[in-house]
Amino acid sequence: MPLPEPILAGLTSIVGPEMVLTRPEDVIPYGFDGTAALRQVPAAVVFPRTAQEVSHCVALAASQSLPIVTRGSGTGLSGGSVPGEGALVLCLAQMNEILDVDARNLTLRTQPGVTTLAIDEAAARHGLFYPPDPGSMKISSIGGNVAENSGGLRGLKYGVTRDYVMAIEAVLPDARIVRFGSQCVKDVAGYSMKDLFIGSEGTLGIITEVLLKLVPRPAARRTMLALYDRIEDAAETVSAIIAERIIPCTLEFLDRMTAVCVEDFAHVGLPTDCDAVLLMETDGHPAAVADESERMTAIARAHGAREVRVARDEAEALALASARRNAFAALARRKPTTILEDVTVPRSALATMVGFIAETAREHRLDIGTFGHMGDGNLHPTFLTDERDAEEMERVHHALDAIVTKTLSLGGTITGEHGVGLAKKGWLRQQMGDSSHELMKQVKRAIDPAGLFNPGKMFD
Ligand SMILES: Cc1cc2nc3c(=O)[nH]c(=O)nc-3n(C[C@H](O)[C@H](O)[C@H](O)COP(=O)(O)OP(=O)(O)OC[C@H]3O[C@@H](n4cnc5c(N)ncnc54)[C@H](O)[C@@H]3O)c2cc1C
């Protein structure tokens, strides 16, 4: 449904004609993200370049009760940036400037459209480090990362996006520009509103600037692969490493199907005949790295690893880590539709959960490859399917429901990092309970009474 002419004229006068898209062939790419089987063509797409332009666009849309969907790079995996019918997409890809790297205070100030990789590269030029590294980091925007509170491969040791956000600037549904947080290491003034906006999936405010904390870049790193004939042994290795008081930066898991697809795609020498592969990485002071990698190797062997390989050099380490980052792309080559799920359980329940996913795949006659951030208990069961096959999709939905329900029964969460969006909102109340769910809706209504920002996401 096209936008009425006066609104288009208003948007054009705010951002300029070259920053407004309305032709169907131009707006179609902004109608979906990385989530399978969810798409809706937006009414128009606008590319603001400043917080003021965002605010003016919001004021105009609000005056016409026009819903707004904020978009970063569109790599989301819960349908967060998929527009509702007739919605205006505000794409922040043009707000792509790093504003300041303060090497004395260890901070970086940036616009929201900068990619996650570019943030870490800018930090690296000063010998500093921005640890959160979602698998999509070459493309995902920092605004999207904050809106989803994204995690990554290094989350076990370094935490997630929230742990690095010191302050944000955001535009509210009534067009006010607000700032929360500060550049002080300690700041307990008032409610921590920035924390409310982190992970709010574009439903409360449009993030227009972020102040990030940086840390010193680790001096050394070692990457290892442990190969197992039994998935349970890989899960137990993870528990044993943590129990030994070692917190590696990465403990990533790939099951046999994922390892086969990744090897077929990336040719990095991953074995294709074992049931589980653990990618383990430790970083920090060279002496600590040497000690931890030795102990992790011994623990892996003691828990049934049939082989532990240590990357010979930085190039091999990088190849192994990027092979893992390519797991989604590698699996996606197998079938027309790839549904990448995101459930997290307490680490002690990992072996049970991985076993349950395999059993569910057999029971429902489905191809499910599982990989994930095993050190965080965060698994990505990935359904390889075909959305044109209605009967198979029915089985996918039953299997997915069984996996999510099992996750909750083990004390887990319906999403460890991809967010609720459209894909998971049906299960949110089940996890939160009625009172907590209602309180969240009250918060949404308090900040966005007209329901203008990302309507239909997170809640019905
Ligand atoms: C191959 C692949 C690997 C991935 N690996 C990981 C991973 O390891 N860890 C992980 O956590 N995620 C992962 N993801 C999911 C995704 O990349 C993250 O959720 C990422 O943070 C989304 O960023 P984006 O810029 O693409 O946001 P989008 O997809 O454009 O938007 C995501 C959500 O954020 C909102 N939003 C975007 N920008 C803003 C803003 N400036 N202000 C307010 N709201 C905003 C949108 O409305 C939407 O609700 C992966 C995705 C892919 C495709």
Express each pLDDT in 399-419 by its tens digit. Answer: 999 999 999 999 999 999 999
CA 285-377-139 angle, to 5 degrees, is: 70
Amino acid 226 reads: A
* Residue with CA at minimum distance from ligand 1 atom 15: 76
User: What was the pLDDT predicted at 124?
Assistant: 97
CA dist 273 and 288 (Å) reads 33
Protein residue with least CA distance to atom 9, ligand 1: 134
Which atom belonging to ligand 1 lies closest to the Cα atom of 77? 15
Q: What is the rounded average pLDDT of the residues 128-133? A: 97
**Which residue puts its alpha carbon closest to atom 37 of ligand 1?**
144
Q: What is the pLDDT of residue 214?
A: 98
Residue nearest to atom 52 of ligand 1 (CA): 136
Task: From the CA of 135, give the closest atom in ligand 1.
Answer: 5
Structure tokens at 335: 């079938």
pLDDT at 232: 87
CA 197 to centroid of ligand 1, rounded, Å = 14
In the predicted structure, residue 117 carries a pLDDT above the cut 90:
yes
pTM recorded for the entire structure = 0.95
Looking at per-residue confidence, does 2 or 395 come out higher? 395
Q: How far apart are CA 153 and CA 135, in angstroms?
A: 7
Query: Measuring CA to CA, which residue among 250, 375, 237, 273 is closest to residue 324?
Result: 250
- Residue 1 pLDDT > 80, yes or no? no
Other beta carbons within 10 angstroms of residue 426's beta carbon come to 13
Q: What is the mean pLDDT of the chain?
A: 94
**Nearest atom within ligand 1 for CA of residue 76:** 29
Residues 437, 414: contact at Cβ < 8 Å? no
- State the Cα–Cα distance between residues 370 and 276, nearest whole angstrom: 10
Q: How far is CA 59 from the centre of its chain?
A: 30
> Shortest CA distance to 430 belongs to which of 452, 454, 409, 444?
409
Average the pLDDT over 41-48 and give the result: 96
Distance spanning both ends of the chain, measured CA to CA: 22
Inter-residue contact 87 to 7 (CB < 8 Å): no
pLDDT for the residue 313: 87
CA of 76 to the centre of ligand 1 (A): 4
Mean pLDDT along residues 116-125: 98
| Ligand 1: nearest atom to the Cα of 143 | 41
The fraction of the chain above a pLDDT of 70, given in percent, is: 100
What is the mean predicted confidence (pLDDT) over 237-264? 92
Residue 326 has pLDDT above 90, yes or no: no
10 Å CB burial of residue 178 (0-12, 13-18, 19+) is middle
pLDDT for the residue numbered 30? 96
pLDDT of residue 445: 97
Residue 31 has a pLDDT of 95
Residue in the structure block whose two tokens are 């697809």: 261
Tokens 């370094």 correspond to: 158
Say how far apart CA 258 and CA 370 lie, in whole Å: 7
* 4: confidence class by pLDDT, cuts 50, 70, 90: confident
The number of angstroms, rounded, from the C-alpha of 361 to the middle of its chain's C-alpha atoms is 24
CA 208 to centroid of ligand 1, rounded, Å: 15
Sign of CA dihedral 386, 387, 389, 391: positive
Residue type present at position 315? A
Q: Does pLDDT of 77 surpass 90?
A: yes
Q: Above pLDDT 90, what percent of the chain?
A: 85
Measured between alpha carbons, how far is residue 193 from residues 106, 179, 213, 301, 443 in Å? Answer: 22, 9, 17, 47, 12
Dihedral, 314, 315, 319, 325 alpha carbons, nearest 10: 50
Backbone phi and psi for residue 66, each to the nearest 5 degrees, phi listed first: -90, 120
- Digit-coded pLDDT (tens) for 425-438: 999 999 999 999 99
Note the pLDDT of residue 323: 79
Give the Å distance between the CA of 111 and the centre of ligand 1. 15
Going from the Cα of 139 to the center of ligand 1, the distance in angstroms, rounded, reads: 9
Is it the case that residue 80 has pLDDT exceeding 80? Answer: yes
Question: Which of 30, 148, 374 for mutating ligand 1's site (highest number of atoms within 8 Å of CB)?
Answer: 148
Q: Of ligand 1's atoms, which has the minimum distance to the CA of residue 205?
A: 43
Q: Does 270 have pLDDT greater than 90?
A: no
Interval 297-325: pLDDT, tens? 999 999 999 999 998 888 888 888 877 88
**Average pLDDT for 366-374:** 92
Atom of ligand 1 nearest to the CA of 95: 41
Per-residue confidence band for 37, with pLDDT thresholds at 50, 70 and 90:
confident
Please report the sign of the dihedral spanned by the C-alpha atoms of residue 266, residue 267, residue 271, residue 277. negative
**Residues in contact with ligand 1 (CB, 6 Å cut-off):** 33-34, 69-77, 80-81, 92, 112, 134-136, 140-141, 143-145, 147-148, 150-152, 201-202, 206-207, 328, 417-418, 421, 454
Question: Which ligand 1 atom is the nearest neighbour of the CA of 92?
Answer: 41
Q: Please state the three-class secondary structure of the chain as a single string.
A: CCCCHHHHHHHHHHHCHHHEECCHHHHHHHHCCCCCCCCCCCCEEECCCCHHHHHHHHHHHHHCCCCEEEECCCCCCCCCCCCCCCCEEEECCCCCCEEEEECCCCEEEECCCCEHHHHHHHHHCCCEECCCCCCCCCCCEHHHHHHHCCCCCCHHHHCCHHHHEEEEEEECCCCCEEEEECCCCCCCCCCCHHHHHCCCCCCCCEEEEEEEECEECCCEEEEEEEEECCHHHHHHHHHHHHHCCCCCCEEEEEEHHHHHHHHHHHCCCCCCCCCEEEEEEEEECHHHHHHHHHHHHHHHHHCCCCEEEECCCHHHHHHHHHHHHCHHHHHHCCCCEEEECCEECCHHHHHHHHHHHHHHHHHCCCEEEEEEEHHHCEEEEEEEECCCCHHHHHHHHHHHHHHHHHHHHCCCECCCCCCCCCCCHHHHHHHHCHHHHHHHHHHHHHHCCCCCECCCCCCC
Q: Which residues pair with 170 in a beta bridge?
A: 178, 207
Give the pLDDT confidence score for residue 347 in this predicted structure. Answer: 87
Residue closest by Cα to atom 11 of ligand 1: 150
Query: How many angstroms is it from 148 CA to the middle of ligand 1?
Result: 6
- Per-residue confidence (pLDDT) for residue 315, from 0 to 100: 87
The rounded Å distance from CA 135 to ligand 1 centre is 10
Distance in angstroms (rounded) separating the CA atoms of residues 37 and 79:
9
Across the range 213-239, mean pLDDT stands at 93
Q: Would you state the pLDDT for residue 131?
A: 97
Q: What is the pLDDT of residues 333-342, one digit of tens each?
A: 889 999 999 9
> What is the predicted pLDDT for the residue at 317?
86
- pLDDT over 80 (residue 38): yes
Give the distance (Å) from ligand 1 centre to CA of residue 231.
30
pLDDT at 234: 92
Give the position, in ligand 1's atom list, of the atom nearest the Cα of 133.
8
